[in-house]
Amino acid sequence: MSKMRFFALQELANRQPLEVSTPSNKLSDYYGSHVFDSKKMQEYLPKEAYKAVTDAIEKGTPISREMADLIANGMKSWAKSLNVTHYTHWFQPLTDGTAEKHDGFIEFGEDAEIIERFSGKLLVQQEPDASSFPNGGIRNTFEARGYTAWDVSSPAFVVDTTLCIPTIFISYTGEALDYKTPLLKALAAVDKAATEVCQLFDKNVTRVYTNLGWEQEYFLVDLALYNARPDLCLTGRTLMGHSSAKDQQLEDHYFGSIPPRVTAFMKELEIECHKLGIPVKTRHNEVAPNQFELAPIFENANLANDHNQLVMDLMKRIARKHKFAVLFHEKPYSGVNGSGKHNNWSLCTDTGVNLFAPGKNPKGNMLFLTFLVNVLMMVYKNQDLLRASIVSAGNSHRLGANEAPPAILSIFLGKQLSSILDEIARQISDSKMTSEEKTTLKLGIGRIPEILLDTTDRNRTSPFAFTGNRFEFRAAGSSANCAAAMIAINAAMANQLNEFKVSIDKLMEEGVGKDEAIFRILKETIIASEPIRFEGDGYSEQWRKEAARRGLTNICHVPEALMHYMDDQSCSVLIGERIFNETELACRLEVELEKYTMKVQIESRVLGDLAINHIVPTAVIYQNRLLENLRGLRETFSPEEYEELSADRKELVREISKRVTAIKTQVRDMTEARKVANHMENHKDKAFAYEKNVSPYLESIRDHIDHLEMEIDDEIWPLPKYRELLFTK
């Protein structure tokens, strides 16, 4: 056995769970202790400074320099009470938190500056040396600087000895270089559009908030085994590995008991989350062995997303302490369930109404139906944009692989709601409703029960499922920044609601009454968006055919799916709603294509190296042993006996030789394909070339290696195997 694998297994045998103690028995003693929240602001800030921050949060009023100084001072005093020595602007560049060169964030503390110098100016704005963050060419063509600016709507927090200030990250010329800037714009756009629609029903509504509740799936793997797998370390997934004799067939892991080492990790993670005011709630095992899920209570989408990014970072650090590596990759192991990050999304008014929850009376239900039906249309019209927002090299192994939503967008509503919509659609086919028809319609609407959807009426195969009081977008990948999906969904929703409002206004100008105008447009929209509704099994082959018949798009190839960021509909949403300008959108696409290319390139290089340096030599060693064995047999036995006794080993030698040759040839061809692709100037061509000409080798080379793994003596196999990675506690 290779030394790496041997020592890793030895180390593993001696692992013990860490002792984790709670700061106090009462959660309220430490919940939010590391957040500069409103309570602490009141304590540490002079009255006028406190008012300046609250006004900025609630009304978006700018904070004067004088006030900023007072706020910075108060923040500093609070931070010092927690022994903080440094501060840093904390932002989300366009990478995801994967095992790559750039992590999701600048590391806490690393580039942090000394807190003694902290002033209002430094609180509000900074110019980080961030030349290594992806920018899609913006800073090459314009200015070489970027700057960060304080996002007052997300509170400052302390990690270790560093005060972190959530910020947006933009180029010197104002183009967004991060996820937060466009997310804030999309949230503002949907706020404005939804408020206007709500006012058709209730003039008291002045704001609409977006809620997000994410469910983070992840794998844990022992740190020593992880370190002995260069593919896991460098790409976040295993590029080879034969399935274990037992994997998830028994599904005995799901809701099974959590191993003690993992429980200790989870306990510490929860404590740290709670200190940071992150309301994490559920933890349980997932379908695959060593796969888990963490979910908080939903929050305002901007804060929820900051919290998700922060949690991912905490998880990596705390896992290390417990001698685990945490895997956020969408498909770390082939043949085993992958990881997603469901985005539970809802809209809520400042009067406390959840717009995706049925109301208490027909009027409330009308409001609910209006939003529901607009979601249907939004998804129907923006299938390609929504898909573009979640595709990635990692997620491509998951989508359409019989375990995750397919690359086809559809919405599941549940029986009750579907039949109500069908009923509405069936009524009145001409433009004018008789009063009788209006009454039946009203009765139907009045019949929507306040609590919809019992837990049995759930469809786990739907990419966009209505779950009683929210929609659950399930196609997002576990390593992704939720903002990408949230930008697309909320911008598209804003766009859809604006169009809806225009249609209503037009009818009303023509003299149609408000209620009837709403009925009419809703009915039209229900009929027009019908193809997006699907209640059946989203993983089935029939659905693929049926979806094609309905004209729904189904795009599995990442670069092709990404290109839809720039199609007419996406532009009219993203540019039309002023989430991006043209340069920003083009750059975002370029960054995504580049990320795809880089990931496949790294995987291809790592696989090539491992194949040639680890696998082929091991195969040759084993082959030589077989040849020695054959020589011995020939010396010992008569020619006839030898023929009979040696047949299987000869066959094995032949088989191994063939596979070794195939691996070598394919690695060489793959390298050639990379070279050709690398010479391409255009990001689009390059990504397409990697997808078409490089990525297929990853599969075919792996296939040979996985067969060799079964044929070669376990003792000399160089890498930890699936059964070791997946079943160690």
Interface residue list for Mg ion (CB under 5 A): 215, 342
Shortest distance, position 481 Cβ to ligand ADP, whole Å: 17
Structure tokens at 549: 């018949």
- Phi and psi angles of residue 259, each rounded to the nearest 5 degrees, phi first: -60, 145
Taking the C-alpha atoms of residue 517 and residue 468, their distance in angstroms, rounded to an integer, is: 27
Shortest distance, position 590 Cβ to Mg ion, whole Å: 33
Shortest distance, position 379 Cβ to Mg ion, whole Å: 17
The verdict on 108 binding ligand ADP (CB under 6 A) reads no
Tally of CA atoms within 13 A in the half-sphere of 359 that contains its CB:
19
Shortest distance, position 482 Cβ to Mg ion, whole Å: 14
By residue count, the chain amounts to 729
Shortest distance, position 348 Cβ to ligand ADP, whole Å: 7
Nearer to ligand ADP, 296 or 414 (CB): 296
Contact 479, 100 (CB under 8 A): no
Structure tokens at 421: 């919509």
Helices (H), 107-148: 120-124, 138-141
588 binds, among ligand ADP, Mg ion, none (CB under 5 to 8 A by kind): none
Nearer to Mg ion, 342 or 588 (CB): 342
548 binds, among Mg ion, ligand ADP, none (CB under 5 to 8 A by kind): none
Task: Tell me which stretch binds ligand ADP (CB under 6 A): 244-252, 312-320, 332-340, 343-351.
Answer: 343-351
Nearer to ligand ADP, 185 or 341 (CB): 341
Nearer to Mg ion, 6 or 255 (CB): 255
The verdict on 358 binding ligand ADP (CB under 6 A) reads no
Number of residues that bind ligand ADP (CB under 6 A): 14
Residues in region 272-301 near ligand ADP by CB under 6 A: 282, 295-298
β-bridge mates for residue 283, sequence order: 294
The helix or strand, by DSSP H or E, that contains position 90, with its residue range, turns out to be: strand 86-90
Contact 487, 382 (CB under 8 A): no
**Which one of residues 470, 523, 599, 702 is an interface residue with ligand ADP (CB under 6 A)?**
470
Nearer to Mg ion, 342 or 683 (CB): 342
665 binds, among Mg ion, ligand ADP, none (CB under 5 to 8 A by kind): none
Taking the C-alpha atoms of residue 624 and residue 170, their distance in angstroms, rounded to an integer, is: 60
**DSSP per residue over 552-590, as a string?**
--B---HHHHHHGGGSHHHHHHHTTTTSS-HHHHHHHHH
Shortest distance, position 467 Cβ to ligand ADP, whole Å: 6
**Which one of residues 153, 161, 243, 354 is an interface residue with ligand ADP (CB under 6 A)?**
354
Taking the C-alpha atoms of residue 78 and residue 44, their distance in angstroms, rounded to an integer, is: 7
DSSP state letter for 312: H
* Chain residue whose CB lies nearest Mg ion: 342
Shortest distance, position 471 Cβ to ligand ADP, whole Å: 8
* Chain residue whose CB lies nearest ligand ADP: 213
Contact 277, 37 (CB under 8 A): yes
Taking the C-alpha atoms of residue 20 and residue 198, their distance in angstroms, rounded to an integer, is: 49
Q: Inter-axis angle of helices 639-678 and 582-610, to 10 degrees?
A: 160
Shortest distance, position 27 Cβ to ligand ADP, whole Å: 17
Contact 164, 158 (CB under 8 A): yes
Nearer to Mg ion, 167 or 216 (CB): 216
The helix or strand, by DSSP H or E, that contains position 220, with its residue range, turns out to be: strand 208-222
Nearer to ligand ADP, 333 or 345 (CB): 345
295 binds, among ligand ADP, Mg ion, none (CB under 5 to 8 A by kind): ligand ADP
296 binds, among ligand ADP, Mg ion, none (CB under 5 to 8 A by kind): ligand ADP
The helix or strand, by DSSP H or E, that contains position 99, with its residue range, turns out to be: none
Helices (H), 243-382: 260-275, 301-321, 362-381
Nearer to ligand ADP, 169 or 298 (CB): 298
349 binds, among ligand ADP, Mg ion, none (CB under 5 to 8 A by kind): none
Q: What is the longest distance spanned by two Cα atoms in the chain?
A: 105
The verdict on 469 binding ligand ADP (CB under 6 A) reads yes
Taking the C-alpha atoms of residue 302 and residue 521, their distance in angstroms, rounded to an integer, is: 32
Binding string to ligand ADP for residues 187 to 216, with x set by CB under 6 A, is what? ------------------------x-x-x-
Contact 373, 529 (CB under 8 A): yes
The helix or strand, by DSSP H or E, that contains position 664, with its residue range, turns out to be: helix 639-678
32 binds, among Mg ion, ligand ADP, none (CB under 5 to 8 A by kind): none
**Which one of residues 346, 461, 478, 490 is an interface residue with ligand ADP (CB under 6 A)?**
346
Shortest distance, position 357 Cβ to ligand ADP, whole Å: 7
DSSP state letter for 510: T
Residues in region 14-73 near ligand ADP by CB under 6 A: none
- Chain residues binding ligand ADP by CB under 6 A are 211, 213, 215, 282, 295-298, 344-346, 354, 469-470
